Every structure is written in C-alpha cells, then in structure tokens.
Structure 1
Amino acid sequence: MQPVRRTSLIAQVTEQLRAEIRSGSWPVGSRIPTEPELTELTGTGRNTVREAVQALVHAGMLERRQGSGTYVIATSDLGGTLTKYFADAQARDVLELRQALDTTAARLAAQRRDDADIAALQRLLEERRQAWDETGAEALDIDVQLHRAIVVASHNAVYLEFYDSLLPVIEQGIRVNIARALGPYHHEHAELVQAVVDGDADRAARAANCFLGLLISEYSDR
C-alpha cells in the first residue's frame, strides 16, 4: 500500500472541514473549533489542520478575525468568487441586487414558512429592535441573521446557498447604511416579518421591495 502523501491528507482534511460547513454543523456566522480541537476531530497534526483551514479561508468560506478566532462566512467556494467580484461594487448596485433577492425570498417564505421559521423570525425581529436601540452599530449581526432567516424560511436550498455566498457583501452594505445613520427601519422590518408570518405572499414581497426601495432612494441617481 502506498503511503498517504501529505498533500493528499491536507485535501482530505479540507474536504472534511468543508463538509462540516455544508451540513450546517458550523453555520454561517459561527466560530469554528480551535486548532487543538480540530486536530482531535480530524486525527491529524496542527500543520495539516492549519493548511486545511487556510485553504478554506482562501476559498472564501472561512475568515480569520484577529484575537477572536476563525468564522464561517459562506457555505461554498462560490462565496470567495462572488466576494472578490463584488469587492468594488457600488453600494446602490448591491442594494438593487438585494432587492431582487429579498423580494423573491419573502414571497417564498410566506408560502412555505413553518412553525420553527415563525418562531425564529419573531425572536430575531425582537432581538434586532433591542440591539439597535441599545447598541446601534453592534446590531449588524442580528440584522443579517433576520434577513437570512427569511431566506431560510423560503425552503429553497439553492437560493440559501447563493444568499450565503453574498453575505460578506450584504454585511458590508448594511455597515455602510449604519454609518450613514439611515435609521433602524423598525416598522418596515416588523411589517415584512408579519407578512411572512401571516402567509401573505404578495404583502411580504411588497414589504421587502418597499424596504429595499427606501434604502436605494437614499442614493442619488448616477
């Protein structure tokens, strides 16, 4: 039997870590286990784990944050490609893309949401309101989670994977809006969530379209 080459071992561990992300064991936004924990999980050495993690960082699925750890930012390699492609995109262009994505997701969510989706949306809506009122800029993460939860409620796996791939770009856009003090838009978010909860697809689509339209209107025509 031929010995396993180190490069092959790194590829195997990289795929093992990728599988954890794709399965949802490590969801987008979560911190992955520490390096010692990963060596135990994979049964390999630290150097192998370090290179496997770096491969996924390069692919755009993971992000190292100084002093905090390594976090999942996308569920597929597509995220790295899209993030690089949209890196220099105009904020208004990104918002117009979000308008199309979020409007369709809201319509599907209203048609397909289940009890778990409803509970998650109502919880996140309240957490978003509290976070925004108490901390302002620190509400970024919960804002992203709320919009992603609507996509989750659409129960379209392909749609969710594409949305997750765009999360770094979406997060940057929300960060810009917060910096510009465009407001919390509590009423608009509440209307969007309630329409999904009520199962009113047309109203949900209108609410999403209207909310993103308000943000887009803040940018002057080019």
Structure 2
Amino acid sequence: MSSPTGPLRPSPLVEQAAERLRAQIADGAWPLGTRLPGETTLAKDLGVGRSTVREALRALTGQGMLRPKQGAGVFVTALRPVEDWPTRLRRAAVADVYEVRTLLEIQAARLAAERRTDEDVAAMRAALDVRRAAAGGPGGAFVDADIALHATVVAAARNPVLTDLFAEFAPALREALVDLLALVDVQQAEQDHGDAAHADLVEAVAAGDAEAAGRAARDELTVMQGKLAAREAE
C-alpha cells in the first residue's frame, strides 16, 4: 500500500502532519528501529514548517510510535499507536479481564489478611453493610456497592500497585457487571445476593487467616467469572 499523497489541507496542520507520518510509518517508509529524516527534510516533504513537524513528532512520541535519542535523532519504536491501559481494558474480552481480576484479588485478599488494620476491617464491614442495603435494588447501585467492598479488601493489602491496578479494572468491570445484571437476574438467582460469600471474605481477612481469605476470594469470584464466560459464549 502506498503512503497518502497530495498537499495537506490548511488546518489543522499538526494533526494532519501526524496522521501523514503515522500512515508512512505503517506503510513501511521507515521500518521499526530506523531513524526518521531530520525536521527540515520532513517539513519540506510535508509542505509545513519545522515547528509543525516538531509538534507532530511529539504527538507520535506520546503515542509510543517514536522515541527521540539526544544527539542521534528520532527513531521508530512501533508501527502503530500504542494503546494506553484503560483503552486496552475497554477493548478486552470481559471474561479475560475478570480472569485477571480474580488472580489479582486472591493475592490481595491473602495480603490483606496479613496486613489489615482495625481501620481496614471497619471499612470492610461498613462496605459489606452498604452492599447488603443495595441488594435487590437497582443493578448499578448494587454493582457499585459490590466493587466498593472489594476495593476495601484490595486497599487493606497495603500495596499501591495492586490498588492502582484494581482502580484501572473497576470501570470495565462495572460496565460488564451492570450489563450482566440486566440480562440475568443474579441478585434474585442467589437468594442471599452472594452475601454469605462476601461475609466469609471479610471475616477471613479480619481474622488474619490468609489461606481462608484467598480461598473465599477465589470461590466468590469464580462464580461470577463463570457467569461472564457463559454469557460471552452465547
């Protein structure tokens, strides 16, 4: 496939220049790892000023396609824009996201049992009460309460990376779970709305029993993971 040709439209020049360079890189004009021509050459080829080229290169660097090396030039590091983590999560299969969430939360529950404070336990029990109050109500509110409870367990693990990862997962999980509740009445299908399983998780963490906490997290999350996988298989 040949690269786009023809003069650039007057505005907006930076976006157009960036798009032209993206297309040329994707078409193999500059293979992975090679150095782009200098700003003067690119400006002449694109019919724009050097400042426009500089901004376009900065945009492609922000998208992970280019990397400047001081004194050496600008090099191609990817043939297409690199999606950020939230975008990748939105595009991922829900069952895949939930599978990773399950792995993350099992370990988080174990760590929480070892590291929880009295304040953490109080927060978990308060979140459990909110979840109980939301059971049987609107699906969105119930999902929010459920995720908030799990967030307190993850927070009790005292690992900022785990906390940040869970926060990144939360929007994709919420959307998937709300959609699932609209199709399958999980709240009614489970007579206690999963309350016993969540209570077991909270009490295992409160008791400092890492194995029981991990087991409770695994058992509770695996049930929903199976429902999501079955839904995606339909």
Q: Which TM-score tier does this pair reach, normalised by the shorter chain?
A: 0.5 to 0.7
Q: Is residue 206 of structure 1 aligned with residue 215 of structure 2?
A: yes
Displacement of 1:136 in angstroms is: 4.1
- Summarize the alignment of residues 1-222 of structure 1 with structure 2, pairs less than 5 Å apart: 81-179=84-182, 180-183=184-187, 184-218=193-227, 219-220=229-230
Displacement of 1:105 in angstroms is: 0.6
Letter in 2 for 1:140: V
Structure number, greater radius of gyration? 2
Letter in 2 for 1:212: L
Letter in 1 for 2:159: N
Aligned-partner Cα distance in 2 for 1:134–1:113: 30
Whether the aligned pair in 2 keeps the contact of 1:82 and 1:166 (CA below 8 Å) is: no
CA RMSD of aligned residues (A): 1.9
Residue 34 of structure 1 corresponds to: none
State, as a whole percentage, how many aligned pairs show the same letter.
33
Whether the aligned pair in 2 keeps the contact of 1:108 and 1:154 (CA below 8 Å) is: yes
Aligned-partner Cα distance in 2 for 1:178–1:118: 28
Q: How many residue pairs were aligned?
A: 143
Q: Which has the higher contact order (CA 8 A, sep 6+)?
A: 1
Whether the aligned pair in 2 keeps the contact of 1:94 and 1:173 (CA below 8 Å) is: no
Whether the aligned pair in 2 keeps the contact of 1:109 and 1:151 (CA below 8 Å) is: yes
The C-alpha deviation readout for 1:148-200, integer Å capped at 9, x for no partner, is 11111001112111221222112223223322222321111111111111111
Displacement of 1:135 in angstroms is: 3.8
The C-alpha deviation readout for 1:98-125, integer Å capped at 9, x for no partner, is 1101101100001100000000000110
Residue 8 of structure 2 corresponds to: none
TM-score by length of 2: 0.57
Aligned-partner Cα distance in 2 for 1:156–1:90: 26
